[in-house]
Structure 1
C-alpha cells in the first residue's frame, strides 16, 4: 500500500500516487496480531535485514519549525514513548534534539518519568548529538561538527 503526502494530509486515495490496485489483495499481509517474530538471529542462506525505526524531522525545511513541530513531530514523540513503554522489545532512535527539547519542556512529570525509563532501558536512543540531522547539505565534516556544537 502506498501512502502519499497530499495537501498536508496523508492520503491513500490520491490516484497520482497510488501504486497498488485497491480491488486486489495487498502484496503482503501483516500478521493478524501485528506481532512480528523478531527474536531469532541471522539464518544461514537468508538475507539479514535490519530495520531501524528513527526520525529525520526537518527543522524548517519546507515549512516553519512551529508548523513541523505541531503537525509532524509532537505526535511522533507522544506515540513512540507510550509504545516503547508498552513493549520492552521495541527500540527507536531519535535524532532532532531541538524538537525533543521542545516536546520535553511541554510534558508533565509522569511522561518525563516514562521517557527516562525507556531511555535508561536502552529502548529510546539519541543519535547524532545535534539540534537536527545533518545530511548531504553538509559538504565536509567541519560543517557536521559545527552543527553539533
Structure 2
C-alpha cells in the first residue's frame, strides 16, 4: 500500500500552522467555549497542564499565580478579550489536572495489585517464560 493509496496523514495536534483567525474562541452565556475551536482550546489546555503542572503535586497545592499565568497565556494565544470565562477556564483546568492525577494513581495501584496475584489463570504477554519466576510459589 503506497502513501497515495491511504491518503495523507494529518499532523499531530498544534503542529499544523493555524491562521490567525482560527485562534478566536467564542463563549456562551455560561462562559463555556463554543464553536469550531472549542475542542482545540480543550486540547491546548490539556497540553499546557501536562507540560507546566507536575502530576506528583496535588492540584490544590499549585500556586494561584500559576493559574493566573495559564489564563494570561490562554488570553494571548486564543485572542480572548475579556476576563469573563476566566473562572470557568481555571475550574476546568483544575478538574482536568485532578482527573489526570487520579487516573495515574489508580493505574499505579492496579499495577501493584497485579504483582500480588498468586493464581495466574493466564500467562500474559510474556507467556510461560514470564511465569517461571512464579513456578515454585504456585506449584509446590
Q: Tell me the TM-score normalised to structure 1 length.
A: 0.25
Higher strand residue share? 1
Please identify the structure whose Cα radius of gyration is greater: 2
Using CA pairs under 8 Å that are at least 6 residues apart, name the structure with larger relative contact order, 1 or 2: 2
